[in-house]
């Protein structure tokens, strides 16, 4: 069988590694091809640190060639342009076409702008390693330029960072940025007293999936570190260095970061596959795309039922990874003609850092705050790093 996996992120890489392991262990020669636009695997959960005080190179990205060197996985670097389910093939932007018997879609997500005028053009996203380094370079440039100005009002605008979106990414970035700005001011000569960080969200709560206790804790910690939180504040338009917000107010900021939401890549809907309102492929309890025998979807780009109420699983690396483990097992079972079990998500909870010394989380449903969050996060990260580099 010829299995093609699109995307070498948390879900796709895990599917490929585990499937390869099982095939080799059982002496099978089925072909596994992994396609990604990048030559590296990104540790997305570290990119808010890459965007600020700096986690670079091998700490935030892994060379896929090295990870896969001892495997029988065929890695293809290329950008997927089209999926053609009727022809059972995938077309890459450079014109190559790859046929498949089974296709795994693990293309992750893109930033969602919700048609807010100017949002795409005048803000910086934070979803990939390159976006993180672009944001960091921009912040350094803003601070350096502010140092050369003499008007405090102009300096304050230049040194204001507005983060749109009070979910995990927004809160993690705000916390990390707040911890970094003092040393950045020193390094660049920018006046620390004019630095402002604003975190805005249209909802009444930060981290709304956790509930009010987490909002209170996140607000307390971020406020202590000088982040101004504006809730129930909808962004109506984004202009160069300016946000127009509900109530006719404006906020001027040298840096505007848009982390207000994500959606699945349009490739999935363009292929005629069934998707939900966020463009995520709808799948059954075996992660098979509805109505498709040969196509699976998982991770951020799949709408995986979370329960009887019609909700879908959250977009997290821990879910994506476990779905990859499950799917490798399912495809292998199909290859050897074994029965497959359905996918049962394990609700492990989430952990969110609020700067280098604080955080909130609900591992296994238990609310925790502070250092324990960071200790757990570190442990999970180390486990993940060793799981992808183990031969």
Ligand X SMILES: Cc1cc2nc3c(=O)[nH]c(=O)nc-3n(C[C@H](O)[C@H](O)[C@H](O)COP(=O)(O)OP(=O)(O)OC[C@H]3O[C@@H](n4cnc5c(N)ncnc54)[C@H](O)[C@@H]3O)c2cc1C
Q: Which of 15, 292, 316, 358 binds ligand X (CB under 6 A)?
A: 316
Residues near 183 by beta carbon (within 8 Å), at least 6 away in sequence: 53
Exposed (0-12), middle (13-18) or buried (19+): which is 36, by Cβ within 10 Å?
Answer: buried
Asked if residue 317 binds ligand X (CB under 6 A), the reply is yes
Q: Which of 4, 11, 198, 304 binds ligand X (CB under 6 A)?
A: 11
- Indicate the residue whose CB is closest to ligand X: 9
Q: Which of 1, 28, 31, 38 binds ligand X (CB under 6 A)?
A: 38
**Interface map 212-251 toward ligand X (x if CB under 6 A):** ----------------------------------------
Does residue 334 sit in helix, strand or coil? helix
Full DSSP string of 172-228: HHHHHHHHHHHHHHHHHT--GGG-EEEEE-SSSSSSTTT-HHHHHHHHHHHHHTTEE
Task: With contacts defined by CB under 6 A, name the span among 54-62, 66-74, 179-187, 311-319 that binds ligand X.
Answer: 311-319
Asked if residue 111 binds ligand X (CB under 6 A), the reply is no
Instruction: Using the Cα atoms of residue 42, residue 45, residue 48 and residue 49 in order, give the sign of their dihedral.
Output: negative
Task: With contacts defined by CB under 6 A, name the span among 7-15, 140-148, 180-188, 330-338 that binds ligand X.
Answer: 7-15
Q: Which of 160, 233, 255, 315 binds ligand X (CB under 6 A)?
A: 315
Number of residues that bind ligand X (CB under 6 A): 33
CA angle 211, 216, 221 (to 5 degrees): 130
Does residue 280 sit in helix, strand or coil? coil
Which residue do the tokens 């190179």 mark? 57
Contact between residue 164 and residue 170 where contact means Cβ atoms under 8 Å apart: yes
Using DSSP bridges, classify how beta strands 2-6 and 102-105 pair: parallel, antiparallel or unpaired: parallel
Nearest to 231 by CA among 212, 205, 209, 249: 205
Nearest to 28 by CA among 333, 326, 334, 335: 335
Nearest to 154 by CA among 241, 86, 42, 24: 241
Asked if residue 355 binds ligand X (CB under 6 A), the reply is no
Asked if residue 10 binds ligand X (CB under 6 A), the reply is yes
Footprint of ligand X on residues 250-269 (CB under 6 A)?
265
What would the two tokens of residue 306 be? 């979370």
Q: Which of 125, 299, 359, 361 binds ligand X (CB under 6 A)?
A: 299
Asked if residue 118 binds ligand X (CB under 6 A), the reply is no
Asked if residue 280 binds ligand X (CB under 6 A), the reply is no
Of the pair 2, 318, the CB lying nearest ligand X is at 318
Task: With contacts defined by CB under 6 A, name the span among 219-227, 277-285, 314-322, 368-376 that binds ligand X.
Answer: 314-322
> What percent of the chain is helix, strand and coil (3-state, nearest 5)?
40, 25, 40
Strand partners, 263: 110
Asked if residue 271 binds ligand X (CB under 6 A), the reply is no
Asked if residue 175 binds ligand X (CB under 6 A), the reply is no
Asked if residue 112 binds ligand X (CB under 6 A), the reply is no
Asked if residue 96 binds ligand X (CB under 6 A), the reply is no
Write the DSSP symbol of residue 255: E
Asked if residue 45 binds ligand X (CB under 6 A), the reply is yes
Cα–Cα distance measured from residue 83 to residue 273, given in angstroms and rounded to the nearest whole number? 9
Q: Which of 5, 17, 80, 238 binds ligand X (CB under 6 A)?
A: 80
Of the pair 157, 297, the CB lying nearest ligand X is at 297
Contacting positions for ligand X (CB under 6 A): 7-12, 35-38, 44-45, 47-48, 79-80, 106-108, 126-127, 168-169, 172, 265, 299-301, 315-318, 320
């Amino acid at each position: 069988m010829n299995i093609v996996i699109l995307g070498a992120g948390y879900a796709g890489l895990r599917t490929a590694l585990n499937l390869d392991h099982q095939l080799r262990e059982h002496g099978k020669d089925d072909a596994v091809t992994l396609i990604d636009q990048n030559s590296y695997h990104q540790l997305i959960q570290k990119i808010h640190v890459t965007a600020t005080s700096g986690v670079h190179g091998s700490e935030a990205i892994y060379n896929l060639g090295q990870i896969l060197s001892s495997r029988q996985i065929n890695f293809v670097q290329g950008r997927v342009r089209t999926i053609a389910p009727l022809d059972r093939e995938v077309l890459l932007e450079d014109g190559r076409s790859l046929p498949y018997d089974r296709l795994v879609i693990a293309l992750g997500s893109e930033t969602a702008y919700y048609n807010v005028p100017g949002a795409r053009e005048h803000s910086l996203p934070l979803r990939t390693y390159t976006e993180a380094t672009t944001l960091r370079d921009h912040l350094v440039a803003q601070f350096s330029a502010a140092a050369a100005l003499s008007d405090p009002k102009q300096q304050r605008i230049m040194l204001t960072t507005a983060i749109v979106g009070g979910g995990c990414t927004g809160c993690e970035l705000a916390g990390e940025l707040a911890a970094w700005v003092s040393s950045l001011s020193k390094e660049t000569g920018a006046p620390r007293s004019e630095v402002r960080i604003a975190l805005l969200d249209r909802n009444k709560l930060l981290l709304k999936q956790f509930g009010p206790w987490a909002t209170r804790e996140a607000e307390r910690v971020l406020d202590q570190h000088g982040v101004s939180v504006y809730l129930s504040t909808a962004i109506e338009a984004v202009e160069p260095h300016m946000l127009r917000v509900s109530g006719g107010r404006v906020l001027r900021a040298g840096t505007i970061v848009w982390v207000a939401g994500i959606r699945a890549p349009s490739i999935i809907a363009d292929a005629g596959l069934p998707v939900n309102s966020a463009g995520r492929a709808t799948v059954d309890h075996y992660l098979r795309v509805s109505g498709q025998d040969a196509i699976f979807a998982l991770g951020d780009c799949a709408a995986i039922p979370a329960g009887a109420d019609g909700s879908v699983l959250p977009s997290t690396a821990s879910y994506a990874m476990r779905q990859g483990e499950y799917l490798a097992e399912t495809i292998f079972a199909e290859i050897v003609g074994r029965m497959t079990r359905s996918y049962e998500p394990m609700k492990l909870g989430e952990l969110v850092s609020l700067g280098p010394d604080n955080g909130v989380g609900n591992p296994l449903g238990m609310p925790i705050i502070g250092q324990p969050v960071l200790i757990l996060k570190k442990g999970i990260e180390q486990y993940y790093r060793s799981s992808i580099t183990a031969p």
